[in-house]
Amino acid sequence: MSVQNSLSTGFLGLVANVGKPVIFRYFDKTIGSVWDDEVVLTVNGSVATSGIAMPLSNQQGSTDSVLIEQGKLQDNDLKLYVNGSVSITGSEDMLKVIIGGDSYSPIPIGTYTPEVENTKIYKRIYLRRLTTGSYYGE
Walk me through the domains of the chain, giving residue ranges and CATH numbers.
3-129 (2.40.10.270)
Pairing of strands 102-106, 115-116: unpaired
Q: What is the pLDDT of residue 24?
A: 92
Q: What is the pLDDT of residue 91?
A: 44
CA distance 16 to 52: 9
Q: What is the pLDDT of residue 54?
A: 93
**pLDDT tens for each residue of 72-127:** 999 899 999 998 888 887 544 588 999 988 999 898 887 788 888 888 888 999 99
59: pLDDT strictly greater than 50:
yes
Q: What is the pLDDT of residue 58?
A: 84
Handedness of CA 31, 32, 36, 37 (dihedral sign): negative
Q: What is the pLDDT of residue 27?
A: 87
**pLDDT tens for each residue of 12-43:** 888 888 889 999 998 888 777 776 667 788 88
CA distance 2 to 56: 32
